[in-house]
């Protein structure tokens, strides 16, 4: 079946601390009126405008004051919110992104796996898991700022089934976003403090960049997969003969890959893959590695 979701990233914000939550509520309201099912904010968002010596005092347990307020906002607008903060858990601090669901409940969280040296010197502890969470439209993951540089985060998100990854950050990571999206075949949505955010598709194509607008939205088709042309290319005409324009194809010929999507109600892209014996990227890589190991063992 068709699975469309409208995502939103909020970027380039420096609200005064006394207005921060009101501003955040306003941008969720705006995104929801633009059709957003989920809205992401930048890294450490509740600390915006505070000097680092005040960060520890502003750390909060989950749910704390800001999560409770944003939960009310999420429920009022019937959308998900990705809300990054400095989490206090006992005597430890974590750089965390919280997922709040459409009913205003905490649906889960992700703790930044790869901290900067400065963060660790401040006493912040790293997370250990590339968390993927279920929503009513699909599986999402989150990554935070310096995570962008570390393959285990992005590989782990793919292995855990992420279809969209929300990148909450202090810096853009623009080309890196394109590289990881293309490498692992998921969508990437950024929310960047004091800078530009963007939305990237599975082929690494930039779909939207924020400029004057603080909120960017885009509709994504989750009924879509990134495949390699090897062993799949010769089946495209057969697929078109049966399903025609219900299928979409986006080619990145220099890298010998293409994204195939399905727009027909009641038909999933995984059913198409099975019907025509297509090979997904993970399956193809696994087959190559298996054969390589066999040859080396001879």
In terms of domains, do 192 and 244 share one? no
The yes-or-no verdict on residue 192 having pLDDT over 80 is yes
Number of domains into which the chain is organized: 2
Half-sphere exposure of 158 (CA within 13 A, CB side): 19
In terms of domains, do 251 and 141 share one? no
Q: Which of 61, 129, 119, 56 is nearest to 89 (CA)?
A: 61
In terms of domains, do 114 and 151 share one? yes
Give me the residue label for tokens 């990227």: 281
- Tell me the residue range of the domain where 194 lies: 4-221
| 222 vs 242: CA distance, rounded Å | 21
In terms of domains, do 194 and 262 share one? no
Q: Select from 195, 221, 247 the last residue of a domain.
A: 221
In terms of domains, do 136 and 239 share one? no
Q: Select from 221, 255, 288 the last residue of a domain.
A: 221
- Please give the full DSSP string across 57-114, using - where no structure is assigned: HH-B-SS-HHHHHHHHHHHHHT-EEEEEEEEEETTEEEEEEEEE-TTS-EEEEEE-SS
The yes-or-no verdict on residue 284 having pLDDT over 70 is yes
In terms of domains, do 261 and 196 share one? no
Q: Select from 188, 221, 254 the last residue of a domain.
A: 221
For 163-172, what is the mean pLDDT?
Answer: 95
In terms of domains, do 148 and 178 share one? yes
Confidence of residue 1 (pLDDT cuts 50, 70, 90): low
In terms of domains, do 90 and 237 share one? no
In terms of domains, do 167 and 274 share one? no
Q: Which of 10, 1, 7 is nearest to 215 (CA)?
A: 10
Enter the DSSP assignment of 222: S
| 252 vs 287: CA distance, rounded Å | 22
| pLDDT averaged over every residue in the chain | 94
In terms of domains, do 280 and 198 share one? no
| 269 vs 260: CA distance, rounded Å | 8
Half-sphere exposure of 210 (CA within 13 A, CB side): 24
The yes-or-no verdict on residue 53 having pLDDT over 90 is no
| CB neighbour list of residue 167: distance below 8 Å, 6 or more residues apart | 142, 143, 144, 147, 148, 173, 177, 188, 189, 190, 191
In terms of domains, do 116 and 230 share one? no
Residue 135 phi/psi, 5-degree rounding, is -125, 180
Whichever domain contains 167, its CATH number is: 3.60.110.10
| 18 vs 25: CA distance, rounded Å | 13
For 138-161, what is the mean pLDDT?
Answer: 97
In terms of domains, do 129 and 258 share one? no
- Please give the full DSSP string across 118-151, using - where no structure is assigned: HHHHTTEEPP----EEE-SS-EEEEEEGGGGG-H
Q: Which pTM was predicted?
A: 0.95
pLDDT tens-digit readout, 172-188: 898 999 999 999 999 99
């Amino acid at each position: 079946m068709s699975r469309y979701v409208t995502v939103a990233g909020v970027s380039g914000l420096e609200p005064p601390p006394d207005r921060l939550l009101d501003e955040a509520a306003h941008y969720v309201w705006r995104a929801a009126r633009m059709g957003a099912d989920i809205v992401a904010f930048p890294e450490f968002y509740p600390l915006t405008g505070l000097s680092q010596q005040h960060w520890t005092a502003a750390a909060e347990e989950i749910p704390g004051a800001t999560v409770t307020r944003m939960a009310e906002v999420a429920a009022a607008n019937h959308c998900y919110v990705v809300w990054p903060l400095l989490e206090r858990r006992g005597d430890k601090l974590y750089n965390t992104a919280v997922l709040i669901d459409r009913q205003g409940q905490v649906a889960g969280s992700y703790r930044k796996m790869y901290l900067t040296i400065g963060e660790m010197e401040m006493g912040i502890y790293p997370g250990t898991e590339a968390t993927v969470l279920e929503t009513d439209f699909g599986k999402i993951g989150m990554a935070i700022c310096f995570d962008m540089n570390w393959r285990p985060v992005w590989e782990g998100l793919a292995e855990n089934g992420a279809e969209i990854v929300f990148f909450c950050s202090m810096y853009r990571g623009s080309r890196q976003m394109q590289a990881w999206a293309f490498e692992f075949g998921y969508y990437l949505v950024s929310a960047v403090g004091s800078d530009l955010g963007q939305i990237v598709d599975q082929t690494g194509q930039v779909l939207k960049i924020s400029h004057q607008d603080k909120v960017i939205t885009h509709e994504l088709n989750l009924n879509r997969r990134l495949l390699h042309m090897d062993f799949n290319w010769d089946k495209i005409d057969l697929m078109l003969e049966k399903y025609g324009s219900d299928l979409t194809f986006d080619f990145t010929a220099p890298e010998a890959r293409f994204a195939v999507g399905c727009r027909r109600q009641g038909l999933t892209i995984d059913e198409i893959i099975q019907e025509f014996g297509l090979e997904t990227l993970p399956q193809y890589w696994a087959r190559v590695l298996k054969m390589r190991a066999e040859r080396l063992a001879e």
